[in-house]
Amino acid sequence: MRTMSEKVEKQNIQTQLERLNLNADQLIEMYATMCSIRRFEQMADRLYASGKVHGTMHLSAGQEAVAVGAARAMRPNDYLLNHHRGHGHFIAKGADVKRMMAEFLGKDTGYCRGRGGSMHIADVESNNLGANGIVGGGISLAVGVGLAVQMQRKPEIVLSIFGDGAVNEGIFHESLNMAALWDLPVLFLCENNQYAMSMPITRATAKLPIAEKAGAYGMPGYHVDGNDVLQVYEVISQAAEHVRQGDGPVLVEAVTYRYFGHSKSDRNLYRSEDEIDEWKKNDPIIRFRQNLIEGQILDVQQAEKIDLEAQELIDEAVAYAEASPEPEIDTLTEYVYA
């Protein structure tokens, strides 16, 4: 298992740019995408509070660095299969927030024509094979996609994102074993936000860190600070390179934290406000923004403008979704069979 040096972030951002082969525009785009995700999640919460959302949802505010760092380390055609807390991953992969918001409101213009909702958003055409309502549910599917890609001799790889709760499901172990046996092009990314619903990871998982489980399957394991977008980017880039070269799967554990509760039934009885506040001091967006400002890539006004633009994008998405039609009732039985 490899842990990234904590010194990395303290490096001058210009040095990091050079090392990561990124330019200033790319960093600004990453920051903007993180802002969009945060604004999307805050809007989702507001829409729920105002009674406009039919079902539940799982918000990822606080975890934006994982979504964006990982997505930018992948190629546009790479496959994505993720978990129920997946809005951020989709936005980072380039999904249209209008169609996401429409799906969220159950509208016919949504990615799944209102059939899936927050928990099952997918965009098959862009190799985004969907979020999953079953903990660990997407992991074995990702192995199968990896098998298909390998048999088809295609250049794509598969990003399988799941939470810390999923590593205690049997399917995690069956899947990692199978992927490692056949050197499948799958990058397993455990987004460890430290709680599986209300269960803290220390009470649920006998042996930590999760990244060490990679050793059981003979694959490399990485443990990264999931609130540092450039660190996530760097590690996922290395891991993706390994996977893309045909050297087999990799397991990456990114440690992060969610601010909102597990879902809308959560009253946050299992963790303290102090703990949440402590993590907010380590906020991935604030940290990155600070670095960009200190590195003179952005000034304060520019950073704020980007955030305002993100908010406008989300407002437009809500307007689009609200104006969109509901699915017709007589289409109920469509799409059960091909």
Collapsing DSSP to helix, strand or coil, 227 comes out as: coil
DSSP state of 271: S
Angle at CA of residue 97, ends 95 and 98, nearest 5°: 120
- How many C-beta atoms surround the C-beta of residue 9 within 10 A? 18
Choices 18-26, 128-136, 221-229, 304-312 (CB under 8 A): range interacting with other proteins? 128-136
Residue 185 interacts with other proteins (CB under 8 A): yes or no: no
Tokens 């963790």: give the residue: 271
Residue 337 interacts with other proteins (CB under 8 A): yes or no: yes
Q: How far apart are the first and last CA of the chain?
A: 44
Residue 190 interacts with other proteins (CB under 8 A): yes or no: no
Euclidean distance between CA atoms 72 and 93, whole angstroms? 8
Choices 27-35, 172-180, 234-242, 283-291 (CB under 8 A): range interacting with other proteins? 172-180
Residue 212 interacts with other proteins (CB under 8 A): yes or no: no
When the beta carbons of 9 and 123 are compared against other proteins, the nearer one is 123
Q: Which of residues 130-149 bind other proteins (CB under 8 A)?
A: 130, 132-134, 137, 139-149
When the beta carbons of 111 and 257 are compared against other proteins, the nearer one is 111
Residue 336 interacts with other proteins (CB under 8 A): yes or no: yes
Q: Which of residues 216-255 bind other proteins (CB under 8 A)?
A: none
Could you tell me whether strands 199-200 and 186-192 are parallel, antiparallel, or unpaired per DSSP bridges? unpaired
Query: In the structure encoding, which two tokens stand for residue 194, read together?
Result: 């430290």
When the beta carbons of 148 and 208 are compared against other proteins, the nearer one is 148
* Closest to 303 in 3D by CA, of 283, 285, 279, 281: 285
- Alpha carbon of 202 to those of 105, 154, 161, 165, 205: distances in Å? 36, 40, 20, 11, 6
When the beta carbons of 61 and 112 are compared against other proteins, the nearer one is 112
Residue of 57, 71, 105, 171 that binds other proteins (CB under 8 A): 171
Q: Provide the binding-site residues for other proteins, judged by CB under 8 A.
A: 79, 81, 110-116, 120, 122-125, 129-130, 132-134, 137, 139-149, 151-152, 170-171, 174-175, 177-178, 181, 334-338
